[in-house]
Each structure stands twice: as structure tokens, then as C-alpha cells.
Structure 1
Amino acid sequence: MLSEAASFCRPLNAAKSMAPEVTLSSIFSDRPAESFAAGCGLVWEGDPASHVFEVVEGVLRVFRIIGDGRRAITGFLYPGDILGVSIRDRYLYSAEAVNSVKVRRFSAASFQQAINLSPELRPQFFAKLCDEMAGAQEQMVMLSRKNAEERICTFLMRLADRRPGGRSDTMEIDVPMTRLDMADYLGLTIETVSRTITSLIGRGVISQRGRHDMRIHKYSMLARLAGDGDDMRGNGPGESYARQAVWPA
């Protein structure tokens, strides 16, 4: 019987005109979607890393519990993101659903085998690893050099970058995470997050539209307050320089 990876890679041996496009996402295409309610755990730090997951709907928070019991959120994953792409024997983090989430899972061993067998997947996998490294570097700079207001403005800019259709100086953004989530991600207290958001609202930079919705009224000012000056990133949702990476010859 063919393994998951061998079965997946079989079309690669057919004529190119008949073979479907091969992407990291296509690995998961025939996997059933699993649903998780808000607050439910998907993986736990220290458990065997037996599966890789693709987020189909909703948002995941990825976190670690440090020695004194505090939670440090290291990132949020959105539809199209892959959890566990940095293969290890055990998960180095826990992942929970921020809101209602659907994911597809693929065996970690078969995922790695599929990458090894497919020349089309290797550069995509490499780009994903570059994205993770770039994100980790951005987070280190933000936590080590930026003050509370700059961190929160940077965070709101990142949410704006994920907005479908690109960003503009005035736009609505979805904020699915709680202020406690924001605090644990930005290395702040929830009181500081709330006070800073209130200040931004008072200055007309943003407004609260609902429990999980905000409106940015002055994106250019938000960028300046973030300490980034003129924002040099791409205008599309989720664009980054890491995605320009290519597989080394």
C-alpha cells in the first residue's frame, strides 16, 4: 500500500500537462477538516510532534509557559498558515484556538517525505522556514527596542496587512484576539494595552467598532507611532520579503 507521501507525489510522475499544481497547501487538500471551539487546545508543548496542521478557518495562538507560570504568546496563525513546519521530535510550543477554528492534519513523517520527494515543494518549504525566521527576528526587535505604544501600533499594522484587498489610510480590521492575548504577545500588561488603545482612540488614530473590530482612521500616523516611519512593506495582505526566498542551487 502506498504511503501518504508516496500517494501524494504520484501525480508528479505523470505528464506535466496532466499534473495538478503542487503546493504545500495541496498536501492537505484530501484531509478531512477538524473543528475546534475557541479556547480548545490543538497541540501541547512537549508532546510528540506527530502531525503538521494547515489552518483552514479561524485563528490559532501559539505560546509557551515560562518558568514562573506566565504565558508568552509567540505568534498567531491564520488561514493558509501551517503549524509545525519546523519539524522537531516534540512540539516546542502549545497551540489553542482563538476563535472557532478548522484545521487539516498530515502526518509529520509523511509531510517530510513529501518534501524530500518533490522538487516543487522544496523551495516552498524553504520559503516557509524563511518566513518563520523573519517573523522571529521582527518579534525580537519589537520586544527589545520598542516602547508600549510602538509595539501596539506595530501589532495593529500587522493586522492591517492581513486585510483582504490590501490596506489604505482608513480601513476596518478584524481583531479576533483578546487584549490579554495582545498583552502576552507584546510583552505588556493588559492594563498597558487597554490604556494605550484608549489613548489612540482619543487621538483619532483608531476607533473601536465592536468587540473584535477596529477602524484605523490614520494608517500613516499609526506607522509613525510604530516607529517605522514610511512603511516599506508590500501593499498586499501578509506580504513579506521572506517569500522572495528561493531554494539554494
Structure 2
Amino acid sequence: MNSRTNNFSPAAFDMTQKPATRENSAEGLSPCAACAVRDLSLCNVLDEDELSMLASIVTSLEVPARAPIIDEGESADYLFNVTGGAVKLFKLLADGRRQITGFLFPGDFLGIAMNETYAYSAEAVSPVKLCRFPRAKLENMLDRFPHLEKRLLGMASNELAQAQDQMLLLGRKTAKEKLCSFLVSLARRAERRGDEPGPIYVPMSRADIGDYLGLTTETVSRTFTNLKRDGIIRLREGGMVEIPDFDHLEELADGI
């Protein structure tokens, strides 16, 4: 894999209210027609006729940065496909602390619930674009199109694999290994999305990274500084992070 760069900029945390999202619709036009992430998303297994049926139940949304998308415990009436921006998933502990459990990017699916309510909250890290599906109508389509259900199951399995990786990060790795693993994961996911080698936009704050890796904000900042001092990364203007030797970063992530 070639060298990668990453960008980190602050994102605040405010769940006091759920700002209104903007719904987009164009009469006579399918919201799927010009989707840049169709090959990565739920609908990539559908033919044109099936895609038109799916498009008939979709609402396109634009969500501003730091706005809640779903709240833990609320009725799981909708599912979402991320088509632009970045989303963070998290759970709030009884004492008010927050554990970020994952980040979603274009092509990822959001809102799968085993019961009638969401098991976690989701917030836009940057301005986000979503396709929103009413749960009941999407379930009807899954019954009609088994290949769509199989695709959704595959996406859920991928989510489970990411959760297992997160358990390893939290339980066994040092702060340096955690941060290196995080950067490696971001680069690999960007590659799977088809992004060009080079800068990768990652709008998480250091506080978000800490809440994901189980580290304090101070530890995250200090680890970034140490990686810069050792020549593992280069911090560029605007929060850009350049990775001169990706193979070496992978070795550090594995504790080598």
C-alpha cells in the first residue's frame, strides 16, 4: 500500500436537541441515479427495475455537522445508508461518559436494530448525506428480494467484525499501538471506498479518537506528538497527517 495522509479537525459534542435535517427530492428523478457510492452500498445487488422500486421508498437527507441522527432507545423506525460525510456511533454510560463504538463513511449502513429501539446513538461528525428507508417498507422489500437481504446480512457481518477489532484495540494494545491501528484502519477503509492514494479526510477530533480508543484526549495528543517526533507521521497545515511509510505504521500497529 502506498503512503497515506489523514486530516483531523475538531468536532464538538452536543446532544441537547436534534436539529432539523433537510430532505431532498427531485420529482421524476431517482435518488439512486447519480449515487457515487452505489457500488459500496446496500443497493449494489439490485437491477434497474428493482432499484427503481427501492428508490420509491427512499428519502435523501442532509444532516449538519454535530447533529444527532438517531438516539439510543428511540423507536427504530428507519434505516440509513451513508452516502457522504462521516458518522460516529456511541453509547452513553450511566455516569454520563461516552464510548464511541465506531465511525461510518460513505457506503456504510446505519440503524440495524435487533429489537424495536436503537441500541446506540449516531451523530454527524461532518456534514452528512443519507438515504433514509422506512423500516417496515424495507423489510417488505427484503422479503421480495432475497439477494437484498443477503447483502444486508453481509453488511451486518462486517459491522460485527469491526466490533471484534474494537475489542482487541481496547483490551490488548498500548496507546501507540491503538493510534497506529486506528490510522491503518482509516487508510484501509478509504482504499476500499476507492479513494485515491494521498490525503484522507477524517474529521474526528482528538476527543472523539480518545473516546473510540479508550484513551484520554491528552494521551491521544501526546501520542500524535511522539509519532511526529519519531518520523512516523508528519503533521501538515490544516490538520493533515502524512504517513511516509505505511508498512512501518502497520508494524507498529501490530506491536512489532
TM-score band, normalised by shorter chain: 0.7 to 0.9
Match among 194, 205, 208 for residue 181 of structure 1: 208
Tell me the residue number matched to 1:20: 48
Aligned pairs for 1:2-13 (under 5 A) are none
Aligned residues: 208
Secondary structure at 2:119's aligned position in 1?
A: coil
Tell me the residue number matched to 2:253: 226
Pair 1:54 & 2:81 matched: yes
Pair 1:129 & 2:129 matched: no
Task: Write the distance in 1 (CA, Å) between the matches of 2:55 and 2:126.
Answer: 21
Task: Write the distance in 1 (CA, Å) between the matches of 2:239 and 2:149.
Answer: 37
Secondary structure at 2:222's aligned position in 1?
A: helix
Secondary structure at 1:163's aligned position in 2?
A: helix
Give the TM-score of the pair, scaled to structure 2.
Answer: 0.75
Secondary structure at 1:48's aligned position in 2?
A: coil
Secondary structure at 1:215's aligned position in 2?
A: strand
Relative distance call for 1:167 and 1:113 in structure 2 (3 A) is same
Q: Amino acid of the residue matched to residue 54 of structure 1?
A: N
Match among 60, 82, 86 for residue 33 of structure 1: 60
Relative distance call for 1:29 and 1:212 in structure 2 (3 A) is farther
Tell me the residue number matched to 1:113: 140
Matched-pair contact (CA < 8 Å) for 1:64–1:93: yes
Kindly state the Cα deviation for residue 27 of structure 1 after the two structures are TM-superposed. 3.4
Q: Amino acid of the residue matched to residue 108 of structure 2?
A: D
Task: Write the distance in 1 (CA, Å) between the matches of 2:186 and 2:157.
Answer: 20
Relative distance call for 1:109 and 1:59 in structure 2 (3 A) is same
Cα deviations by residue, 1:14-70 (Å, 9 ceiling, x for unpaired): xxxxx52757x9835863321111111111111000000111110011101112111
Secondary structure at 1:177's aligned position in 2?
A: coil
Give the TM-score of the pair, scaled to structure 1.
Answer: 0.77
Match among 69, 79, 104 for residue 42 of structure 1: 69
Q: CA RMSD in A?
A: 2.3
Runs of 4+ in 1 over 4 A off after TM superposition: 164-168
Task: Write the distance in 2 (CA, Å) between the matches of 1:81 and 1:29.
Answer: 20
Kindly state the Cα deviation for residue 213 of structure 1 after the two structures are TM-superposed. 2.4
Matched-pair contact (CA < 8 Å) for 1:28–1:54: no
Relative distance call for 1:36 and 1:217 in structure 2 (3 A) is same
Matched-pair contact (CA < 8 Å) for 1:173–1:216: no
Moved more, 158-167 or 190-199: 158-167
Match among 162, 184, 195 for residue 189 of structure 2: 162
Task: Write the distance in 1 (CA, Å) between the matches of 2:190 and 2:109.
Answer: 19
Q: Which consecutive residues of structure 1, in runs of 5 or more, have no partner in the other structure?
A: 1-18, 230-249
Q: Which consecutive residues of structure 2, in runs of 5 or more, have no partner in the other structure?
A: 1-46
Matched-pair contact (CA < 8 Å) for 1:173–1:215: no
* More relative contact order, 1 or 2 (CA 8 Å, 6+ apart): 2
Task: Write the distance in 1 (CA, Å) between the matches of 2:245 and 2:222.
Answer: 19
Match among 215, 223, 242 for residue 196 of structure 1: 223
Secondary structure at 1:222's aligned position in 2?
A: helix
Relative distance call for 1:147 and 1:26 in structure 2 (3 A) is farther
Task: Write the distance in 1 (CA, Å) between the matches of 2:75 and 2:94.
Answer: 21
